[in-house]
Structures are given as C-alpha cells and as structure tokens.
Structure 1
Amino acid sequence: MSGRLLRLVCTAAVTASALLAPVPATAAAGPGPGPGSARQANTRPISELLTDLQQRYRRAERATEAYNATSEKLKKQRAEVARLDGRLALARLAVHGSRGEIGRLARQQYRSSTEISRYVRVLLARDPQHALDEGHVIGQLARGRAGTLRRLAGAEKQADELARTARAALREQTALAGRQKKEQDDVRGQLKEIEKLIASLSAGRLAELAEFERGGAAAAQRRFLASGTLSGERAPTDAGDRALRYAVGQIGKPYEWGAAGPGSYDCSGLTSRAWEHAGQAIPRTSQQQWARLRHVPLKRLRPGDLVIYFPEATHVALYLGDGMVVQAPRPGEKIKVSPIASYPVLGAVRPDPGEEPLRRYVPPRLGR
C-alpha cells in the first residue's frame, strides 16, 4: 500500500483516461470537494482524511464488482438469446418444410384419384391387382398427409413457444444492458470524486498521507503475523502454481476497473484470468468467488489460493506465500506484491480443493 496515494497524483492523466472505460456501481459517492474544500482537505486530521479516501475506494470497488457481475450476466444472456434465435430459426424451417410436404402430398393425391370409387375401379379394371395396388398407394398417401399434419402442428407449437421464450430473453438482455450502463455511470462518478479529492491535496499533505498509510499497513501486517493466523509454508498444486506464475507475470500492469487483461486488470479480473490460464474456470467477481469456491482456513493457505477482503467480499488477491499476495490494488496503481494484511482479511478460498500439492516447488521469481 505504500506510496499509492502519492502515485495517484503522478498518474492523474492515467486515472482520467481510465475513466473512459466501462464502469460499475452500487453505492452513490459522497459529495466531492466544493468551494473552499481544498483548504479543508489540507487541514483535516490525517487519520480522518485517510479514512475518507479508503471509504471512497471501497465504494468504488463495490460498484466495480457489481458492474462486473452484471456484465457477466449480460454476456450469458446474450449467448442465451443467440441460442434461442438459432432454435427458433430451425423450428420455422421445420414448419415451412411440413407445409411444403402437405402441399406436395395433396397434389399427388389429387392426380391419383378419380370420381369412380376404388371398388368400381377394381371391378372394371383389366388388371384388378394393379387397381388394388394403386388404391393401397392412395391410402398410404392419405396416412402420410395425416402424419405430416401432426408434425406441422407440433412444429408450429414449438415455434410459438420458442418465440415467446426468445422475446422474454431479449427483454431480460435489454434490462441488464440498462443496469450495466447505470452502474458504469455510477462508478465513473465515484472515481471522479476520488480524483478531485486527491487533486485538492498539496504535495506535502500527500506525502504525509502516504507515510501514514504505509505505517498503518505495516502495523496491520505485524499484528496479523503475530496472531499466528498463518502457519508453515505449503506447496501449491500444479494449477495453483500456473495461476500464480501468470499473476506474477502481470506485475507492473495497471489497474483498470472492469478489466480482465491482457493489458490491465481489476482485482477479480486478475484472479479469474490467472486461474483461467491454469485451466480452471472460476467466477468473475470477488463476491462470487467467495460465495461459490471452497473456503479454506488461513492456517492452510497455499500459493495460488485466493485471499478475500472486506466484509462485503469486494476485493481479492492471489496468495504468493510467506505472508504476501499478488494483487491489482486500486485505480492509479499497478499490479504488485503486497503484505497479506494490506486490507482487512475476510477469509480464503481454493479453486482446486481436490488436487494434490506439488512434491517439489520452486516459487516464481519476482522480476519487477
């Protein structure tokens, strides 16, 4: 966490450009700095100022995770609409084919029939067997038309049901798209408020704030390690090792809300993409990861496990080992290695609970 607030000012242009990307939201941001607020921000107690900034970041992160969840639902809904459209097109082709078959049978039966009954035709025919055979064919045609009519009725019913389902799915897609847009606008507004507050601070105040935050993070890490919450080091599974090495390979790339690589990531974008690279599909958001993946005690943490933060499960990182994590921290920062207690730890989850750890394990080199 050290120096992140100071770096935000140095990366103001980056932050501003990031605001042009997609965004999420659930809670409205507090009022931004107004007239005279720059002087107030520079005279507030440093602990109060840091708490204010951290709360704003948490609101933005909750909004980002809400946006990510809606985006995932929208992606699935679009796929469902496309699937239903495909089935509906096939059903309509079946209806068209059945109608064409009925017309063909009707024309064929008309050409094969006369006003003389088949009984009279048998009596008068030079070849009674031929007449009987012809009558049999006519009966088959009639039965075939009846079967085609039944198929037509079934195809029309299926097409009608699929059309209703497709219309409902499309309405749901439209609603999700509207919700995604609202969440995007909300997050942009929250990040703008954070940017305004940071910009209102003097260089000296920013340095003081960064130092205070760094000291608080270091103290939290000491308390966490002294509590005995973590135990001896463990080896990851093969998939966990691959996920962790992927995350380490992203160190230095920027945080961007709503992003999942390859050029930038938000917190859960990094963790979900790392495990996808390892061959394991996991939920996209930190809240879904906390809700759906296997919980593991912190004493049993192994590299590659996911550490979840805050009571609302709105932040996530990959455990590196030795009390450290790889994470995409927040806007204005880059992916980096941080102490596990940089944020309040909620718990941990394991994407591959049934797999055995590696017998021999060499931790990844931290090149940046």
Structure 2
Amino acid sequence: MSGVLVRLACTAAVAAQAVLAPVPAVAEPAPRSVSQLLTDLQRLYRQAEQATETYNATAERLQRQQAEVARLDGELARARLALQGSRGDAGRLARQQYQGSSDFSAYLRLLLARDPQHALDEGHVIGRLSRERAETMARLTGTERKRDELARAARRALDARLTLAGRQRKQRDDVRARLADVERLLATLTPEQLGAVARLERTSVAEAQRGLTASGALGDDRPPSGGGDRAVRYALDQVGKPYRWGAQGPDSFDCSGLTSRAWQQAGTPIPRTSQEQWARLKRVPLRELRPGDLVVYFPEATHVAMYVGDGEVVQAPRPGEKVEVSPLASYPVLGAVRPDGAAAQAPATEAR
C-alpha cells in the first residue's frame, strides 16, 4: 500500500459511483451517525497502525538476522581455511613420522651415544617436535569442531531468517487487508459525511487538548537538549511528506519511521517501532516534556509522535495523511519517553 491520499481516492470513487445506478434488492442498512462513523474509522486506522508496527518489528528482526547469517557465513569460511592449513600441517608431520619410522628410539640413542650430552640435547629437540605434533593434532581437532559448530549455527540462523521472512510476508498482507477495510468504509461515505466526520474529529481533539491543559498534566516547556533540537528540526523539515506504512524516509514515513529517523539524524539511534521506543527508552512525565521527547499513544503503544513545544507534536498521523504539526492530544496519550536519557529501569506511571 503506497502513501496515496486515501480520502481523495475514495471521494473520486464516490463520484464515480454516483453515475452508476445499481439499486440492490435488499433493504438498506440503517444509517450510522457521524459519531459512529468516526469511531469505526478510528478503530480501523488503529488496527492498521498496530499491524504496521508489528510488521516493522519483524522487518527490524529480519535485518538483524540477515546480518547474523552474513557474520556466521564469514566465520565459517575462515574456519574452513584454517582447517585446510591444519590438515596441511598434520599431513606434513605424518610424512615426517613415516620417513623417520626406522630411527632408533631416543632412549636407545642415548645408551649408544658416544657423547651422552649431545644425545640428551637431541632428545630435547625430539621432545619439542613431539609436542609440536601433539599441538598440531589438537589444533586440527579443535578447528574441525569449530567448523562443525559454526556450520550448525549458520544453518540455524538461515532457518530463522527464512521463518522471519515468511512471517513478514504474512504481516504485510495483514497490513494491506486492514488498509483495504479503511478504504471500503471511506468509499461508502458521501463528501458531506466525510466533512462531518473530519469536523467532529477536530472538535474532539480540541476538547481533549483543553482537558489535558486544564488538568495541569502539561508543564512549562523545558529547553531541548542539543540532540533533541536537531531531531525536532529534522522532523519539522519533513512536514508535508506523505504517510506510508513501513517507511523511514526520506520521501515518506510512518509514525515510528519519522521519530526513529529524526533521532538517528540527530546522532542518537533509537528502536524502530513505537512499542520498542516505549519499552526501552527513559520515561518522563508529561509535565517535564522538552522538545525532542516522544509522546506514545494507545494502551498498546501503537502510535508515536515527537513533542515540539507549546503543547504540540509533529507526527506522521495515518494512511492518507501527511506529516504535520498537531495538538499533543490528537490520540489517547499513554505516556512520554526521552531518547537521549538513560534507559528505563522500571515502568513509570502512565499518563492518561
């Protein structure tokens, strides 16, 4: 699914349907209220975004697994080369032993030697060569064992990569199915209904923002860190670019793709998905927000935006929309995290 504007496409579809005249023989369903339409749309969008973040998490694990497969393949190749060298050393020693198999033993040479001290010195050399042979054989055995272990590990890593790739394909199909559900619902709405839903949504967000401000949950803005300032400037530069699920820029973004890319550009890599950002970054109260902090939404942490100050966030909202600056209370707030703070040691109290 690309970042096309779903609403525009659906408006066109409605217009096209207007020139057609199929009248179903079944009874028309009862019309839904604007409030119910908004609820249904928000539910579908939320399901689509949750599926997107699941897909993103698998994509990140697949990328790491591909790197692990490459690393193990490299180690296995080096182990095979080392094994060839060890086998060459062992063969050389075997030939030497065969060629010297008719020699007297070191003990017999000592008894028959005219110069016992010289014979003892020779015995020392023979002992050293014997130890070298033992070390060569031990190295050969160890290299063979390492080769076998690496081969098994590489096989397991490849199997895991294939499993993740299959899971990713299924999750991709799930995202597409969720977005198709959104499109089907939008296609049933008239332009008047779409306008009414949009107005109701703006009113609901404004009321939620006023309630959040009146509750005292938001404090005075704190100055951003150097990294936070760079992340905010990068995110704001993306305003107007389309939302596209699974995208991390530079031409389009999904919600966590925008926040992770902005902080990467600021010099602080953070987890890719909103759930991992919520789980692994330091949590901060809303009243202590500073620009660059991330605001996480919904109980499942399936949406994320970046705080820019004055009670506003920059975010990639959802399919069909563009990166925009909007009120912090655009969605139900779960809490906030700070990318350039220490990792969270224990869950903080969630802000609602």
Match of 1:324 among 307, 312, 326: 312
Aligned match of 1:18: none
For the Cα contact (< 8 Å) 2:307–2:313, is it kept in 1?
yes
Does 1:110 find its partner at 2:98? yes
Residues 157 and 285 (structure 1 numbering): CA distance in 2 closer, same or farther, change over 3 Å?
Answer: same
Moved more, 314-323 or 196-205: 196-205
Q: Secondary structure at the match of 2:314?
A: strand
Map 1:299-314 → 2, pairs under 5 A? 299-314=287-302
Does 1:141 find its partner at 2:141? no
For the Cα contact (< 8 Å) 1:240–1:304, is it kept in 2?
yes
Aligned match of 2:19: none
For the Cα contact (< 8 Å) 1:38–1:200, is it kept in 2?
no
Moved more, 296-305 or 150-159: 150-159
Q: Secondary structure at the match of 1:268?
A: helix
Q: Secondary structure at the match of 2:148?
A: helix
Q: Secondary structure at the match of 1:198?
A: helix
Does 1:76 find its partner at 2:64? yes
For the Cα contact (< 8 Å) 1:38–1:201, is it kept in 2?
no
TM-score (ref. length: structure 1): 0.81
Map 1:182-331 → 2, pairs under 5 A? 182-331=170-319
Instruction: State the percentage of identical aligned residues.
Output: 64
For 2:107 and 2:270, locate their aligned partners in 1 and report how far apart those are by CA, in whole Å: 74
Map 1:139-178 → 2, pairs under 5 A? 139-178=127-166
Residues 219 and 97 (structure 1 numbering): CA distance in 2 closer, same or farther, change over 3 Å?
Answer: same
2:78 alignment partner AA: L
Match of 1:47 among 35, 40, 45: 35
For 2:128 and 2:62, locate their aligned partners in 1 and report how far apart those are by CA, in whole Å: 51
Q: Secondary structure at the match of 1:251?
A: coil
Residues 115 and 295 (structure 1 numbering): CA distance in 2 closer, same or farther, change over 3 Å?
Answer: closer
For the Cα contact (< 8 Å) 1:307–1:316, is it kept in 2?
yes
Gaps of 5+ in 1: 1-6, 14-34, 355-368
Moved more, 74-83 or 119-128: 119-128
Gaps of 5+ in 2: 12-23, 343-352
1:10 Cα deviation after fit = 1.6
1:238-276 deviation per Cα after TM superposition (whole angstroms, max 9, x unaligned) = 000000000001111110111111111100000001011
Residues 261 and 37 (structure 1 numbering): CA distance in 2 closer, same or farther, change over 3 Å?
Answer: farther
1:9 Cα deviation after fit = 2.3
Q: Secondary structure at the match of 1:326?
A: strand
Match of 1:9 among 7, 10, 13: 7
Moved more, 214-223 or 231-240: 214-223
Moved more, 116-125 or 294-303: 116-125
Q: Name the count of aligned residue pairs.
A: 327
Q: Secondary structure at the match of 1:210?
A: helix
Moved more, 211-220 or 48-57: 211-220
1:8 Cα deviation after fit = 3.4
For the Cα contact (< 8 Å) 1:95–1:152, is it kept in 2?
yes
1:56 alignment partner AA: L
Aligned match of 2:323: 335
